[in-house]
A and B are shown apart, each in its own frame.
Chain A
Amino acid sequence: DSGVTQTPKHLITATGQRVTLRCSPRSGDLSVYWYQQSLDQGLQFLIQYYNGEERAKGNILERFSAQQFPDLHSELNLSSLELGDSALYFCASSAGQGRSGNTIYFGEGSWLTVV
């Protein structure tokens, strides 16, 4: 158990809908990262937050947004969903801003299926 909690574990929704994925980082961790992993694909970095502020942005679609709240949990919002958005979405956390030597720990992911 990495200590990173993601909900829901599984989600099925229709095209055009909007969903919210939730992540609670490890106790004391200030950084949260979101990754997308499609079937048999690598981990695609989406976005990183540190203590409530956006720190880095990857190839995140404009239909996707995220935020980190004062209690450090984070939410990833996916809207106008398309079939191609079906994937595993991972949240990870680390103590700092992902600095050297700062290990990131992953949750077990939220499996999104768009039908």
Chain B
Amino acid sequence: LAKTTQPISMDSYEGQEVNITCSHNNIATNDYITWYQQFPSQGPRFIIQGYKTKVTNEVASLFIPADRKSSTLSLPRVSLSDTAVYYCLVGDGAAGNKLTFGGGTRVLVKP
């Protein structure tokens, strides 16, 4: 089971780009990397998922280096509503992977 390490918190300002890096040194060959966003008292919401290189969707980009031991979630031009906790999840559900979340990164976007 790949353990993940993320910064506890990050501050940013509206309109800036926010980059959150997750370390997962013992990622396995079959593991994918998934990022979730969670607002207080709400369920985590899927943001983006990738296996290697770069993935981009309408809300974020995910950069994964060749060794896959880390990944970086990039949120372009954040707004106040992007204030949330962001979780990196690495896992392979085969044979009962527990899909354990790390501590998450609390992002505060300031005006």
Contact residues of A with B, CB < 8 Å?
Answer: 2, 4, 31, 33, 35, 42-43, 45, 48, 55-58, 88, 90, 92, 94, 96-109, 111
Closest A residue to B50 using CB positions: A101
Determine if B42 and A45 form an interchain contact, defined as CB atoms under 8 angstroms apart: no
How many of chain B's residues touch chain A, expressed as a range? Answer: 20 to 34
Partner of A106, one of B45, B98, B100, B102: B45
Give min CB distance, B1 to chain A, whole Å: 10
CA distance A35 to B34 in the complex (A): 17
Give min CB distance, B69 to chain A, whole Å: 17
CA distance A105 to B36 in the complex (A): 10
Contact residues of B with A, CB < 8 Å?
Answer: 30-32, 34, 36, 41-46, 49, 51, 87, 91-94, 96-104
Determine if B101 and A101 form an interchain contact, defined as CB atoms under 8 angstroms apart: no
Give min CB distance, A36 to chain B, whole Å: 11
Determine if B43 and A102 form an interchain contact, defined as CB atoms under 8 angstroms apart: no
Closest A residue to B104 using CB positions: A42
CA distance A98 to B96 in the complex (A): 8
